[in-house]
Structure 1
Amino acid sequence: MKHGEFTSGTVVGAIGAAAAAYPDEPAIVDEAQTLSYAELWRESARIGERLRARGVTTGDIVALAAERSAALLVGLLGIIRAGAVVLPLDVTYPRARLRMMLDDSGAAMVVGHAHTVEPFVSDGRESCIIPRVFGGGDDLDGDTLTEPDPAYGCYLLYTSGSTGRPKAVLMPHAGIANLVRWQVGASACGVGSRTLQYGAISFDVALQEIFATMASGGTLVCIDDETRRNPVLTWNLMIREEINRIYLPYVGLQSLVMVADEVDLGAARLREIIPGGEQLQCTRALRDLMRRLPDCRLINHYGPVETHAVTCHPLGADPAQWPSLPPIGVPIPGNRAYVLDDDGREAPVGEIGELYIAGAQVSYGYWRQPDQTAERFLPAPDGHGERMYRTGDLARRRDDGTLDFLGRADDQVKVRGFRLELAEVEAELSDHPDVRACGVTVAGDEGIDRILVAFVVAGEGIDTEAVRDDLRARLPEHMVPAVLHVVDALPQVPSGKLDRRRLRVMAETGMTVVDSTSH
């Protein structure tokens, strides 16, 4: 298999072809071991056959709960090789939230380390334990496993829900294969290149970095959570491990940019930095960094969980020429973008409209939520029986077809690289016994300075820090408001609904990050 060649209809087939072509090349590196492609294929087959032997069948939901390691990646491949739909769980999330995802998805099996699956098997679920270090084992060789049908589901990812509950997106094999097929052909990083496994496993970008690397014969280098949280340690690891490519949200890129002056980049081997997940901002510090990495390209990706990455814009060689807010580019092959006005007609070039995506990467919709699926997944305007996804993002098309991203059209926001809907945070906050009413908004500019701000009408003597601690037990840290103000009443529009515009003004003018108990 030559670099850039991808003939399979699924990532399973593509990774199998890479394993056959490059059996001795390193596929995964973590602090405990290095696995070759032959070992990756064999060990993932063992997991897949164990799952099949225990009754897992095509289309079953199987959860993956493991710490960052080679075992996590082998488990991921093993689950989809069994024909199951993988539900990746971030084990750093609160247990109550993970249990809700398991219950909602109907997953009957959890794959992972003994200590990471133990909290979730008490409800009658079965577990499949992955060894931390591979080698030896049974004689299973994967002969009974076949490549999944491209129409089958590949993964289920939860995203913040507009009804106050997270909702899961079901992506078929054909959708993720289209993205990976394009990525393998478009990237300069192929056989023998090294990609940092930076993304959290429950973040769709992680699946892109994992599958695109495995399908091209490259090496995934694992990073532990402690190192990942420290940008200086991350830089040092990337230099030490000669990392060629990294995918990361803009806020993660900003954290690396802020400490780049503390690191000797002379030995850096980076060739591609691929931000996604939120609007890219080309700051002076980012331009300075890229000038210090003259052999590295900055490639802007865009795409919601419902379609994964669907547009691409490589920035030019001269950082001095980059705009502060670069475009998101044009759709990758197999996808189409529509910019529609309020009447559902194509907006003229240069005019702002809402962005809709159609084509190969439109997911099957929201798991067990037909009403919300029907609301967001609509017939494409040019017929042919295809569906398009209504992103809720505002965009503008240039004369050459390039798309500019202009922010959200609704109350969905991005904080620290994570997309969330304010209704979900408000639902959890309203559940607190001392909170009578609440409204949540954001303050600060897009990127690293953006925070969540909550306003609550509450009983006398409310302990706001205790309220935030209560939220931490039920929500990921990025969904816990950094600031909590107690007010007498929430602003309303004439219809009686919450006045979110006024709430945002209140947050911007009255916000004090150091004082989260301001009244």
Structure 2
Amino acid sequence: MIYTSGSTGTPKGVAVAHGPLAMHVRATGAVYGTGRETRELHVLSMSFDGAQERWMVPLAFGGCVVLKPDGLWTPREALDAMERHRVTHAGFPTAYMHQLALEAASGPRPSRRSYAFGGEALSRESFALIGRALDPTLLINGYGPTETVISPLVWRARAGDAVEGPTPRSAGRWGAGGPTSSTRRCSRCRWASPGIASGGDGLARGYLGRAGQTADRFIPDPFPDLSGRDGGRLYRTGDLARWRADGTVEYLGRADAQVKLRGFRIELGEVEAALLAQETVAGAAAALRQGPAGPLLVAYAVVAPGRSSMRARSGRTSPGGCRTTWCRAGSWHWSGCR
């Protein structure tokens, strides 16, 4: 059972059978070049589906997992630990990858190793900095909702590779890449909402105890001639994408109002609904905005006449782990969650 990162509500339990998970582990090990000599640094939270991949894959291929002790590491501490433990593979959130590269650029050059990142956009500037400062043997971006068993699409680059395509401003983030194994994609299918639909053997069973939501997102495969069998399914991801001439899938954004912040899925409508449910709020709107220290979840609210207790009440429904600040601008209040 893997739980989604959730939004402002309760995360959904995603039921994953052993077969698709084992298939994913085998395919991912081949893509990452995992073997007996692999020493994988594991730093991701175990509540994140990608964290399961990062310990299962090296052990399945006879490698070693290096566990991070409790507490937060500075980028310098992470770089020193990777040198000390002879780490060959490591995975970090996108924002932390940028911080690692900044630290490496100002100190001793680290040993070459493979890095994986995901969850948020990687700018062209960050890609260039990572290439110069970390000189990775392989840089991998994994894409995939929990419902498609972790990361069925990967994008790989080596130090010095030229990256073609639209700028991050227009594309949202670098292309997600190509299928890992036994998974196929339909981009902007005419029979469904435009976007990525994932099919093949690498799908979860559905949502635990939520038959209605399972039927809504896991739909019958209308293209049995492509899969070679009847009775298949597709998962509608809600992500917009397009095929590029080089065979990669370019991620363009969402078909709905869902956003992602620090790896958490957040439904903007749920944030607005949480505010509007309070008698102190007359109107609300939510959006993801770029702040001085990175992206912020910003909610705007019109306070009902004669009311002043909105701040204390809304703090109870803020997304997990968020630090909320409040300001007032004219008749609007806004909260920034980072």
Look at both structures and tell me which one has the larger radius of gyration over its CA atoms.
Answer: 1
Percent identity over the alignment? 29
Partner of 2:188: 340
Aligned AA for 1:181? Answer: R
Partner of 1:288: 129
C-alpha separation in 2, matches of 1:224 and 1:437: 45
Which of 374, 377, 389 is residue 235 of structure 2 equivalent to?
389
Which of 456, 471, 480 is residue 301 of structure 2 equivalent to?
456
Partner of 1:504: none
Across the aligned residues of Structure 1 and Structure 2, the Cα RMSD in angstroms comes to 3.1
**Closer/same/farther in 2, CA of residues 332 and 427 from structure 1, 3 Å limit:** same
Distance apart, 1:276 and its partner CA: 1.7
Distance apart, 1:390 and its partner CA: 0.5
C-alpha separation in 1, matches of 2:201 and 2:315: 42
**Conservation of the 8 A alpha-carbon contact between 2:101 and 2:133:** no
C-alpha separation in 2, matches of 1:244 and 1:179: 21
Partner of 1:221: 66
Aligned AA for 2:79? Answer: W
Is 2:51 the counterpart of 1:203? no
C-alpha separation in 2, matches of 1:402 and 1:320: 15
Distance apart, 1:205 and its partner CA: 0.7
Is 2:105 the counterpart of 1:261? yes
For residues 391-420 of structure 1, the C-alpha deviation after alignment (integer angstroms, 9 at most, x for no partner) is: 101001123432111011111101123222
Structure 2 SS opposite 1:239: helix
Q: Which runs of 5+ in 2 are unaligned?
A: 169-173, 225-229
Structure 1 SS opposite 2:146: coil
Is 2:5 the counterpart of 1:159? yes
Partner of 1:95: none
Which structure's relative contact order is higher, taking Cα pairs within 8 Å and 6+ residues apart? 2
C-alpha separation in 1, matches of 2:143 and 2:153: 5
Partner of 2:214: 373
Structure 1 SS opposite 2:184: strand
C-alpha separation in 1, matches of 2:97 and 2:129: 13
Alignment of 1:317-466 (within 5 A): 317-319=159-161, 321=163, 324-325=167-168, 326-344=174-192, 353-383=194-224, 384-430=230-276, 434-444=280-290, 449-459=294-304, 460=306, 462=308, 466=312
**Conservation of the 8 A alpha-carbon contact between 1:394 and 1:405:** yes
**Conservation of the 8 A alpha-carbon contact between 2:119 and 2:262:** no
Partner of 1:25: none
Partner of 2:156: 314
C-alpha separation in 1, matches of 2:202 and 2:328: 41
Structure 2 SS opposite 1:227: coil
C-alpha separation in 1, matches of 2:53 and 2:263: 16
For residues 108-162 of structure 1, the C-alpha deviation after alignment (integer angstroms, 9 at most, x for no partner) is: xxxxxxxxxxxxxxxxxxxxxxxxxxxxxxxxxxxxxxxxxxxxxxx23133259
C-alpha separation in 2, matches of 1:361 and 1:254: 31
Is 2:53 the counterpart of 1:212? no
Distance apart, 1:461 and its partner CA: 5.6
**Conservation of the 8 A alpha-carbon contact between 2:196 and 2:236:** yes
Q: Which runs of 5+ in 1 are unaligned?
A: 1-154, 346-352, 490-509
Aligned AA for 1:415? Answer: L
C-alpha separation in 1, matches of 2:214 and 2:328: 35
**Closer/same/farther in 2, CA of residues 378 and 289 from structure 1, 3 Å limit:** same
**Closer/same/farther in 2, CA of residues 399 and 234 from structure 1, 3 Å limit:** same
Partner of 2:88: 244
Distance apart, 1:468 and its partner CA: 6.1
